[in-house]
Amino acid sequence: MPYSSSLTDNEWEIIAPLLPQKKRTRPPRWTKREILDGIFYQLKNGCNWGDLPKDLPPYSTVFWHYKQWRDEGVLEQIRDTLHAQVREHVKKNHSGHPYC
């Protein structure tokens, strides 16, 4: 069941290359997209990590990845990349507008 904070396919295409690619000894149980959906759900709704819906990865998995990606600057890189794309889109679509 998608939530309003869930990534769309287009959003995922932008974000996926920004996530670290680490070698794993076994296949992951949860995709990075599912984990990000859990992170975005918590950030949007402000709930406790333990109160994530049961159809998202376990809160311990989501929180562990959140801490790792935060400390590695991955979340900041995602924010900066999306911000730059929005600015470029606005600049391109509002060129010549007197209030931009």
**60 part of a folded domain:** yes
Residues in contact with 38: Cβ distance below 8 Å, sequence separation at least 6, in sequence order: 52, 56, 57, 59, 61, 62
Domain count, the chain: 1
Is 98 contained in some domain? yes
How big is the CA angle at 28 (ends 22 and 32), to the nearest 5 degrees? 70
Q: Is residue 93 part of a domain?
A: yes
- What are the pLDDT digits (tens) for 14-31? 999 999 988 777 888 999
Q: Rounded to two decimals, what is the model's pTM?
A: 0.83
Residue 41 lies in a domain: yes
Q: Rounded CA gap, 32 and 20, in Å?
A: 10
Task: Identify the domain containing residue 80 by its residue range.
Answer: 30-100
- pLDDT tens string 57-90: 999 999 999 999 999 999 999 999 999 988 988 8
**Alpha-carbon distances, residue 46 vs 39, 42, 91 (angstroms):** 10, 5, 32
CA 18 from centroid of its chain's CA atoms: 10
